């Protein structure tokens, strides 16, 4: 059982986490949801399309203009409170590596702290424990926040992913984070080149076998673009293919831009796996 906020998700339930960027320079939407009203419209549509989790970020992952903790909090805290007011049952996640921001968003009603930079601030897990919030434990290969990998290498990338993410998850539980609210993330593109991310996808079953719920953040990333030689706006098909493979291998949570399309992919995988009945059954029955 995965328990996040007020929601419980069964072992065969594939869960969508919709991305809502509160940044003016997002790699994908170039600030389309930086202002409050477009961002709230995005939340409403994502929930209608099948997202159970809304992941709010105040700093883009890549290099760019410096964003202080105070500015990150300004972009996220009030918005978290408003989403909590308008959508009382949705799970709210905040993508941050800073404990100060984690504290502020949990006070405002966040249910999950999505630590995409692999525990670079160890106090973030302490905040999650104090508030009973969920925590995403990510492999970032030791990279510093907002840096790109350069000639990074691993003897065995999945062995390193398992060592780091399971270690972070066990530490979080030892601090008091509820075990049923901890997820591990291989960190596609974070501290990795394209071949590393492809191998992490191929071997995702090894993460699933640890028993920790696996979250994947695949959406329109560079490893998809380089695999297919496609720019950012032409990576949806590759993302959905990777999503289907990840679902078949057992990932539980999917952090995405395209919610409706992802929902169809996940429902189809569930139907093939015999975990979901077809929506209708007319063929051959007339």
10 by Cβ neighbours in 10 Å (0-12 / 13-18 / 19+) ranks as exposed
Q: Could you say which of 221, 230, 252, 276 is catalytic?
A: 221
Task: Report the C-alpha gap between 96 and 4 in whole angstroms.
Answer: 17
Backbone dihedral angles phi then psi of residue 248, each to the nearest 5 degrees:
-60, -35
Cα–Cα nearest to 16, from 277, 255, 280, 265:
255
- Annotation says 235 is catalytic: no
- Residue 260: which residues within 8 A CB-CB, separation 6 or more? 49, 50
Dist. CA 89–CA 138, nearest whole Å? 26
Measure CA 75 to chain center.
19
The rounded distance, in Å, linking the Cα atoms of 125 and 143 is: 18
Cα–Cα distance measured from residue 78 to residue 105, given in angstroms and rounded to the nearest whole number:
8
Q: Are 255 and 215 in contact (CB under 8 A)?
A: yes
Catalytic residue among 42, 60, 98, 255: 255
Q: Token digits for 178?
A: 């509820």
Annotated active-site residue 221? The verdict is yes
Name 15's bridge partners.
253
- What positions carry a catalytic annotation? 221, 255
């Amino acid at each position: 059982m995965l328990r996040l906020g007020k929601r419980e998700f069964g072992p065969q339930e594939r869960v969508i986490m919709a991305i809502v960027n509160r940044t003016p320079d997002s790699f994908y939407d170039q600030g389309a949801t930086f202002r409050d009203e477009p961002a709230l419209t995005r939340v409403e549509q994502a929930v209608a399309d099948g997202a159970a989790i809304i992941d709010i970020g105040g700093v883009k992952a890549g290099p760019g203009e410096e964003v202080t903790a105070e500015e990150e909090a300004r972009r996220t805290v009030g918005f978290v409170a408003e989403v909590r007011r308008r959508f009382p049952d949705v799970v709210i996640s905040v993508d941050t590596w800073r404990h100060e921001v984690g504290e502020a968003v949990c006070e405002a009603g966040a249910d999950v702290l999505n630590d995409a930079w692999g525990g670079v601030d160890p106090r973030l897990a302490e905040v999650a424990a104090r508030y009973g919030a969920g925590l995403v434990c990510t492999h970032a290969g030791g990279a510093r926040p907002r840096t790109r990998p350069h000639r990074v290498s691993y003897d065995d990338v999945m062995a390193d992913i398992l060592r780091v993410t399971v270690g972070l998850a066990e530490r979080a539980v030892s601090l008091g984070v509820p075990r049923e609210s901890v997820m591990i993330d291989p960190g596609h593109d974070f501290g990795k080149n394209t071949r590393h991310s492809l191998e992490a996808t191929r071997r995702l079953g090894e993460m699933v076998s640890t028993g920790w719920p696996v979250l994947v953040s695949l959406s329109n990333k560079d490893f998809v673009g380089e695999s297919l030689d496609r720019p950012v706006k032409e990576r949806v098909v590759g993302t959905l293919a990777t999503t289907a493979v990840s679902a078949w291998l057992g990932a539980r949570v999917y952090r995405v831009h395209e919610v409706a399309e992802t929902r169809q992919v996940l429902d189809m995988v569930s139907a093939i796996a015999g975990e979901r009945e077809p929506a209708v059954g007319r063929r051959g029955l007339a």
